Amino acid sequence: MSSVTPANAGAHFQRASVAELAKLPGVWRGGELENVVHATVPTGHAALDRELPGGGWPMGTLAEVLHEGVGQGEVSFLSSALTRAAGDDRLVAWIHPPYMPYAPALESLAVPLERMLVVRPSSREDALWAAEQAMRSGACGAVLLWLEGARRARAGGRREDEYASLRRLQMAAESGRCMAVYFRPLAAEKLSTPAHLRVALKREGTSLEVRIPKRRGPPLVLPLAIEAGWRRSFPVPPAQLLPSHSTPKPERTPVLSIVR
């Protein structure tokens, strides 16, 4: 029976329209990666690029990088993306970084130094404000934000506050077409986020384990291992402990003795 009866019309229509819907931009099935082309920049790690929707680190959205501690290679694994984002004469803003970015290191990662802008706000509110301004301005190709250790100017509600301010940042990143990265501790994985991408890092031996708990598509549960951090750029022989200068030097023996 080929005719569509009123009884099965609903289901028929539904099946057809779901297939149609999946072709719309911005709509995707839960099990697939989103197929729409967003502006992205390659991260320099082919394995990671394959798992990111659009084939690279997204521009124009807020992304979160979750990591424990500060020495995991959480910034350097993005260095190639930062270099790309700083193209077109756009700035890279470092907002409330945990320490001072070290110029020679950035230079050796080929990040253009003259476009770095470091902002050290005195409070959390100022940091969020500065991040939003930088993202919205369109002058920044990338905005890196840390909020750990920033004191609050006012005591206030925590979680809702947090979500709302991140939502603002997401909007700002969209309007400024800017790569916005918020670095936060692993514990934040339990909190919901308006960011479209969330990447969790863990150091495992010499490589960096990357999980993607949130992306436009199914979460990536099996971790990827990428080479990142100091070892990647400088393969070196193992360390050997040199004796210190302060050990008493042997008596100088004369090299030439004049015999009379």
Partner 1 sequence: MLWIALELPAFPLQIAERAGACADALVISEGPAQRPLVVCANAAAHECGIREGQAVAAAKALASELRVVPRDEAVERATLQRLAAWAAQFTPMVSIEAHGIVLEVESSLRLFDGHARLTSAIRQGARDLGFQATLGIAPTPLAARLFARAEARGLAVRSCMTGEHLAERVADLPLFLLDWPAKTLAHLADLGVLRMKDVLALPGDGLARRFGAPVLLDRERLMGRVADPRVPYQPPPRFRSRIELPAEADGVEALLFPLRRMLNELEGALRGRGSGVQQIAVTLEHGRSRRTRLDLDFASPERETDFILAIAREKLGRLVLPAATCAIVVSADALLPYAPRSAAWLPGPAETAIDRERLVERLAARLGRDRVFGIAVGDDHRPEKETGVRPAFPLAAPAGALSGNAGLTPVSKRPIWLLNRPQKLVTRQGQPAYLGELALEAGPERIEAGWWDGEEVCRDYYVATNPAGEAFWIFREHRDAQAWYLHGVFS
**Strand 91-95 with 116-119, pairing:** parallel
In this complex, which beta carbon is closest to partner 1, that of residue 33 or of residue 135?
135
Nearer to partner 1 (CB atom), residue 176 or residue 217: 176
**Bridge partner residues of 5 (DSSP):** none
- Rounded to whole angstroms, the Cα distance separating 257 from 260 reads 9
Please state the closest distance from residue 165 (CB atom) to partner 1, in A: 16
Minimum distance from CB of 192 to partner 1 (Å)? 26
Minimum CB–partner distance for residue 260 and partner 1 (Å): 37
Cβ 237 to partner 1 shortest distance, Å:
8
* Residue closer to partner 1 (CB basis): 10 or 69: 69
To partner 1, the closest distance from the beta carbon of 58 in angstroms equals 21
Nearer to partner 1, 34 or 126 (CB): 126
- 161-167 CB contacts, 8 Å cutoff, 24+ apart: 162/191, 163/191, 163/192, 163/193, 163/194, 165/128, 166/62, 166/193, 166/194, 166/195, 167/194
Token pair 């969209």 in the structure block, residue: 174
Closer CB to partner 1, 12 or 231, in the complex: 231
Catalog residues that contact partner 1 under the rule CB under 8 A: 68-76, 88-91, 97-109, 112-114, 116-122, 126, 129-130, 133-134, 137-140, 202-205, 229-231, 233-234, 236-242, 244-247
Q: Region of 144 please: left (phi>0), alpha (psi -120 to 50) or beta.
A: beta
For residue 226, give the 3-state DSSP assignment: strand
